[in-house]
Amino acid sequence: MTTNKTNKTDKSSPHPIPTLLMCRPTLYQVAYVINPWMEGNLGNSSQPRAMQQWEHLHATLSRLARVLLVDPVPGSPDMVFTANAGLARDGIVAISSFHHPERQAEEEHFRRWFVDAGYRIIDLPRDTSFEGEGDALFSTDGSTLWVGHGARTHRQSHTLLESLWPAKVESLHLTDPRFYHLDTCFSPLEDGSLLYYPPAFDAPSLARIHAVYAPEQRIAVTEEDALRFACNAVNLGRTIVLNHISPDLERTLRDRGFDVIQLALDEFLKAGGAAKCLVMKLTSEIHTAQSTSDPATRAA
C-alpha cells in the first residue's frame, strides 16, 4: 500500500484529513463496451494522455487530502475507476459485486487491499450486483445513504447496505443509460446542497430527492454540463474538482463559496468516467493510525 504526502497534517484540524483511494492508469484502455460512452471508443484511448490527466488530478487532490494507491492489475483496465471498488465508512467496506463479467476480476484485488488495510469486509452475493461508490453516496452528515439502481446496481443490495450503517437508505432509479451510475448525475456537496441532473431519474426518485433538498439547495445542471460529467465531482471542504464545465455552472458554484478547479479528463470520458469515478473515499482514522505506526506507509 502506497501513501502520497500532502501539505496537510492531522494536527492542523480536530478532524482527520480526507483519505482517498486512486489507481494509476498504467493499464487503462477502452478494451470492451459496457456502457454507452465506450461505444465507438474501442482502442481509441491515449494512454500517455490519460496518464497526464490522471497525474494532474492526483497532484490536485494530494494538496487537499491523503491519497493512497492500489496497484493496477493486468486484465483489469477499469481498475483506475476506484469509486467502483466498494463503499467504505467507519472502517467497514462493502466490496463491489460487478454486474459485467469484464470487471469482476477487480473484486479480489480490491478486497485484498482492504483486508491488508484493516477494514471489516462485507461481501455481497454474486447475483446481487452492487458497484460501490459509483452507485452509493452518503449525505454530508452521513444521515442519508443515496443508492442508485438500474443499469448496474440491483435494488436488492439496498437492504444489505441499510444494515451496515446507521443511515437512512434512499433508493433512486436511474433511467438514462448515459448516466449508468449515480455518481455520474448526483453529487451531495459539503455545504448541504446538491449538484444533480434531474432527467436522469424517474418521477418517484425525483420526489424523494426534492423531499430532502429544498429548492434553494438544488443545483440542477443542464444536459450540456451533465454530458461533461459535471456531477462527477470530488468535493473536499470548500473545493470542488471536476472536468471542464460551463461558465454559468462555474459561476453558480463560486457564488455559493466554492473554489472550483477544472481539469481536462476527456480521456476518461471515453470509458464513461471523470473526476469522482477516479476516486474512492476511505475511513481516514484507519490510515491515520497506520501512518503513525508504520513509516513505510508514508513513502511518496
Is 277 an active-site residue?
yes
Annotated active-site residue in 181, 185, 231, 287: 181
Annotated active-site residue in 23, 185, 231, 277: 277
CB 155 within 8 A of CB 129: no
Query: Mind spelling out the 3-state secondary structure of the chain?
Result: CEEECCCCCHHHCCCCCCEEEECCHHHCCCCCCCCCCCCCCCCCCCHHHHHHHHHHHHHHHHCCCEEEECCCCCCCHHHHCHHHCEEEECCEEEECECCCHHHHCHHHHHHHHHHHHCCEEEECCCCCCECHHHCEEECCCCCEEEEEECCCCCCCHHHHHHHHCCCEEEEEEECCCCCCCHHHCEEECCCCCEEECHHHECHHHHHHHHHHCCHHHEEECCHHHHCCCCCCCEEECCEEEEECCCHHHHHHHHHCCCEEEEECCHHHHCCCCCCHHHCEECCHHHHHHHHHHCHHHHCC
Is 244 an active-site residue?
no
Active-site residue set? 181, 277
